[in-house]
Amino acid sequence: MTTKQSFITIDGVSKHFGDVIAVDNVSIDIEQGEFFSLLGPSGCGKTTLLRMLAGFESTTSGEIYLDGKAMSEIPPHQRPTNMVFQNYAIFPHLDVSGNIAYGLRKDKLGKVEQTRRVDEALEMVKLPGYGKRRAHELSGGQLQRIALARALVKRPKVLLLDEPLGALDKKLREEMQLELRALQESVGITFIFVTHDQEEALTLSDRVAVMARGEVLQMASPQQLYNRPFNVEVADFIGQMNFFDAEVMDLQDDEALLDVQGLGQLKASAEGEFVQKGASIVVALRPEKLLLSEKGDAGDENTVKGELSTSAYLGSRSHFFVAVDGCEEPIEVAGQDAGFGAGESLQRGGEVWLSWARESLVLLPVT
């Protein structure tokens, strides 16, 4: 039995289904008490990885260590993990109390203690008094809470959640996100949370692993993922992003002189080994890092003139699309409340100026 440093170590794990490689050589370390998310588009292997942690799928290669113990020989019913299933999997032949108490049989608690634990769990998920209901009498959000209570009442070392909020409507989902985070902090259990919703992952998590095609593309805190994505794919998946082809003209110490399509020549701090003199790279800029104004200084290198093509009203804010000479696609800009208002005074087809801070430029390798 190997003892590893981290609480959970996923060590070079792969899973093949025939010719399909669902999970490809994934290595992740997760600390105790962490809220960790697996984020990626549908079919990227998130569920498969979670099911290997729970023990429902064997690993094709690699090993999972939990609290220092290798898991491959341990069947699901003996693992210190519990799962909230994507479809909740609430037993229809039992009432809510029966569902929550299901995993307590072996603890031999006695009736009074068991009832107390069940009531406590219902209290925790804010459904006190629901013990006698059946699954078909409950809404999606309530089923989700019962599934959570049923898993947490076992006091697992790790809670696995497979897109638990996916079936809920937007408002309920946002409510549940806050509750889930608060719950995780109060119980202090490690959560591994699967989602395809980047906003959800960023809101909830301490750390996020972005997956695609069975691989982990980047593993970082939400802030790092947002501000310093590793590559175009991650940047594209996390939030909105404008991409520009660019060439490195010159490189001096930490400073690169770039020729960026549409934006002209500008300087940026050179991060990453791919930034070499003469290399083709991609420059990325978040819509909310761009400032829109009616007047601008043509002499400033971090400014460019364009023409307003369309705007999209998103409720709390507006997004504008600005056509710039030399760019194939219009540049997306988030409207700021300050200064420019909601941009109502802007005319479609009118001349506008975009400016940005030099630190906002993200340099990415060409894929």
Partner 1 sequence: MKNVSYIDRPNRPLFVYAVLFLAFLYVPVLFLPLFSFNDSQYIAFPIENWTLRWYRDMANNEPMLAALMNSIRVGAVASILSTFLGIFGAKAVTRYRIPGQEPIIAVIMAPLVIPGIILGVALLILINRAGITLSLYTVTLGHILVCVPFAMATLMTRFEGFDKSMEEASADLGENAWWTFWRVTLPMVFPGVLASLLLCFTISFDEFILAFFLGGTDPTLPLYMWGQLRFPQRLPNVLAMGACILLISFFVVFFSQWLVRRDPDSPKSAG
Q: What is Dmax (Cα atoms) for the chain?
A: 79
| Cα Rg, the chain, nearest whole Å | 25
The entry of ligand ADP, partner 1, Mg ion, none near residue 20 (CB within 5 to 8 angstroms by kind) is: ligand ADP
Identify the residue among 8, 44, 192, 282 touching ligand ADP (CB under 6 A): 44
Residue 108 binds partner 1 (CB under 8 A): no
Residue 140 binds ligand ADP (CB under 6 A): no
Q: What is the dihedral of CA 330, 334, 340, 345, to 10 degrees?
A: 50
What residues between 2 and 41 interact with ligand ADP by CB under 6 A?
Answer: 17, 20, 22, 40
Q: With beta carbons less than 8 A apart as the criterion, state whether 271 and 232 touch.
A: no
CA nearest to 50, candidates 77, 18, 20, 26: 26
Alpha-carbon gap, residue 220 to 207, rounded angstroms: 5
Residue 184 binds ligand ADP (CB under 6 A): no
The entry of Mg ion, ligand ADP, partner 1, none near residue 82 (CB within 5 to 8 angstroms by kind) is: partner 1
Residue 333: which residues within 8 A CB-CB, separation 6 or more?
Answer: 287, 290, 292, 319, 320, 321, 322, 354
Alpha-carbon gap, residue 306 to 32, rounded angstroms: 50
- Considering the complex, what minimum distance in angstroms separates the CB of residue 54 from partner 1? 6
Identify the residue among 43, 76, 166, 239 touching partner 1 (CB under 8 A): 76
Q: Choose the binding region for partner 1 from 49-57, 169-177, 264-272, 304-312 (rule: CB under 8 A).
A: 49-57
Report which secondary-structure segment, H or E, holds 122.
Answer: helix 111-124
- Considering the complex, what minimum distance in angstroms separates the CB of residue 32 from partner 1? 20
Alpha-carbon gap, residue 270 to 98, rounded angstroms: 60
Residue 93 binds partner 1 (CB under 8 A): yes
Could you tell me the two tokens for 58?
């064997």
Identify the residue among 8, 9, 34, 48 touching ligand ADP (CB under 6 A): 48
Alpha-carbon gap, residue 158 to 215, rounded angstroms: 22
Residue 160 binds ligand ADP (CB under 6 A): no
Residue 43 binds ligand ADP (CB under 6 A): yes
In 168-279, where do the E strands start and end?
190-195, 207-212, 215-220, 242-252, 255-260, 264-269
Q: Looking at beta carbons only, is 92 or 315 nearer to partner 1?
A: 92
Identify the residue among 12, 20, 27, 56 touching partner 1 (CB under 8 A): 56
Residue 17 binds partner 1 (CB under 8 A): no
- Considering the complex, what minimum distance in angstroms separates the CB of residue 76 from partner 1? 4
Q: Looking at beta carbons only, is 86 or 115 nearer to Mg ion?
A: 86
Alpha-carbon gap, residue 298 to 304, rounded angstroms: 7
Q: Looking at beta carbons only, is 114 or 218 nearer to ligand ADP?
A: 218
- Considering the complex, what minimum distance in angstroms separates the CB of residue 118 from partner 1? 13
Residue 105 binds partner 1 (CB under 8 A): yes
Alpha-carbon gap, residue 43 to 303, rounded angstroms: 41
Rounded to 5°, angle at Cα 48 from 43 and 51: 150
Q: Choose the binding region for partner 1 from 19-27, 54-62, 169-177, 246-254 (rule: CB under 8 A).
A: 54-62
Q: How far apart are the first and last CA of the chain?
A: 40
Fill in the DSSP letter of residue 138.
S
Identify the residue among 9, 37, 47, 311 touching Mg ion (CB under 5 A): 47
Binding residues (CB under 8 A) for partner 1: these are 54-56, 75-78, 81-83, 85-87, 89, 91-93, 102-103, 105-106, 134, 136, 150-151, 154
Binding residues (CB under 6 A) for ligand ADP: these are 17, 20, 22, 40, 42-48
